[in-house]
Amino acid sequence: MLVKVITPEKELCKEKAKSVSVPTLAGRITVLPNHTELLSVIDKGEIKIDFEESGVKKFKSEGGVIEVYRNEVSVLLKKGD
C-alpha cells in the first residue's frame, strides 16, 4: 500500500509500506494492505511505519488525521518531526 506522511510545511515521505501504526483517540490502530476504508483523528504519540524498502520509521505526532482509501494511506500531521 502507498503511504504518504504530510505536514503543513511539506511531504515527509511517500513510499510503499507493509504496515502503519498510529495512536487514535480510541486507542492504537494498525493499518495493513487492503485495509477497509477509514478516516480517524490521530492523537499525540508515536507513529510507526514499516516501509517495504527503507524499513521502520517513526514519527512524532502532535495530532492529525489518517485516511485509508483504495489501498492508499494519507497521514496528515499538525507538525513535522
Which fold would CATH assign to domain 2-77?
A: ATP Synthase; domain 1 (2.60.15)
Strand partners, 37: none
CA–CA separation, 81 vs 75, rounded Å?
13
CA–CA separation, 33 vs 37, rounded Å?
11
CA–CA separation, 18 vs 16, rounded Å?
7
Model confidence pLDDT, tens digit, residues 8-67: 999 999 999 999 999 999 999 999 999 999 999 999 999 999 999 999 999 999 999 999
Q: Which three three-digit cell numbers place residue 10?
A: 511539506
User: pTM score, two decimals?
Assistant: 0.92
Q: Are strands 38-51 and 11-24 parallel, antiparallel or unpaired?
A: antiparallel
